[in-house]
Structure 1
Amino acid sequence: MVVGSGFLLYQFLTSLQSPKIEITENYISKNRDFINGINIERITVGSIGGNGLPAKYTMNCLTRCTIDHSKGRPPEPPDRIVFHKKGKYWWIEDKADFQYVHISLRRTTVDGKKRLPLSAGLERLRTCPIEFEREQWFFITLGDPQVTGIFFTIDKNGNMNQLMGSGVSPI
């Protein structure tokens, strides 16, 4: 009973921690499953805030990875999404031109209106159509309440930088 209680306490405390996320040019992985898929936004940065993160930027392209929950037995959600290999997920891509201001853990559009690309979901792609170029910024959301979003960029030397991987508590 003591061992079982200790295990439950350990599970509860680890569920409160932010997930461990690794992003490379080839994949994104998480120590928990990707139940809700991911969004990758290619952004053009207008200004950087005092924290070194983009403060004002324009989303140029939205790429969405959706986990394939086909009929029959539900698939095991992946803990790694490989960008250029087929998996148990599919991709959509849409062009966009939405301007955002990012303050702390929140972002809003410059005009205050909620924006969504209009043609999202019209064509399902088996692999990710986005390429991670050097000196290009991306904003990645995971559909996880503990992670508001991650800014990702590869500098001119090929070093990958992943910034702002935290969010709100799930409680």
Structure 2
Amino acid sequence: MATWKKIFIIISAIVIVLIGGGLYFLNQFLNALAPPKIEITKEYISTDRDFVNGVTIEKILVDSLGAKGYPVKYTTFYTTSCNIQHPKNRPTDPPSKIEFYKPGKYSWDEDTVKVDHIHNGLSRESVSSSDKLWWLNKYGKLPVCPLKFERNQWYYFTIGDPKVTGIFFFIDKEGREHQYFLASGVSPI
């Protein structure tokens, strides 16, 4: 084979590797900017990332639905939180899947509250003044989720990721599950 053909093949291979590597790293960078993919069922919540900060589930009483079909005004009357156990002496990866009714490297607590919320665009705000907020009970360190999902009931999930405002989860009368993901619009950069 002629020398110029060998040089052309080597240069072509280098260019292909550089372009392929550049596209791979560009894809990874853009994926890091995107909100996580979340899947919620009655049995678990999973993500394509990790649940570093755990998950909070609110059981809500809906006052009104917005044009997109999810609650815009509601009252939270019960919460439960999944707290990830981070060992001090040995690092472990946070879970990417939390099973509600199976023990894992996390514990659950629950609280009875009464907080009124309004969703305005991408943000959620409490309309209850601090003197109207009340808490009845706080129980902690439960091995599994104390909440039992019910039909015809709305839930609101927060996952501690700044790119996610929250996720509404609804189980209709037939038992079908519906999920409404609310991205915050916040970029990690």
Partner in structure 1 of residue 98 of structure 2: 81
Q: Percent identity?
A: 47
- The correspondence of residues 6-45 of structure 1 with structure 2, limited to 5 A, is 6-45=23-62
Q: Per-residue displacement from partner, 1:1-21 (whole Å, max 9, x unpaired)?
A: 725443322210111122111
Distance in 1 (alpha carbons) for counterparts of 2:70 and 2:31: 28
Equivalent in the alignment of 1:110: 127
Question: Which residue does the alignment assign to 1:138?
Answer: 155
Q: Deviations over 1:87-143 (max 9, x none)?
A: 0111110000111111111121224559685865x5210100011100110000011
Partners of 1:116 and 1:19 lie apart in 2 by 33
Q: Tell me the C-alpha RMSD between the 2 structures.
A: 2.0
Deviates more, 1:99-108 or 1:137-146: 99-108
Contact (CA 8 Å) 2:114, 2:134: kept in 1 or not? Answer: no
TM-score, with length taken from structure 1: 0.90
- In structure 2, what residue type is equivalent to 1:14? N
Shift of 1:170: 2.3
Q: Distance in 1 between matches of 2:48 and 2:33?
A: 13
Alignment partner of 1:153 is 2:182 = no
Q: Which amino acid aligns with 1:97?
A: K
Q: Which runs of 4+ in 1 moved over 4 A?
A: 112-120
Superposed counterparts of 1:46-61, under 5 Å: 46-61=63-78
More strand by share: 2
Instruction: Give the structure with the larger helix fraction.
Output: 2
Aligned residue in 1 for 2:87: 70
SS in 2 for 1:145: coil
Equivalent AA in structure 1 for residue 82 of structure 2? C
Structure 2: distance between partners of 1:24 and 1:95: 23
Amino acid at match of 2:58: E
2 CA distance for matches of 1:105 and 1:64? 22
Secondary structure of 1:144's partner? coil
Which SS does the other structure have where 1:100 is aligned? strand
> Secondary structure of 2:141's match?
coil
Q: Which runs of 5+ in 1 are unaligned?
A: none
Q: Distance between the aligned counterparts of 1:66 and 1:5, measured in 2?
A: 38
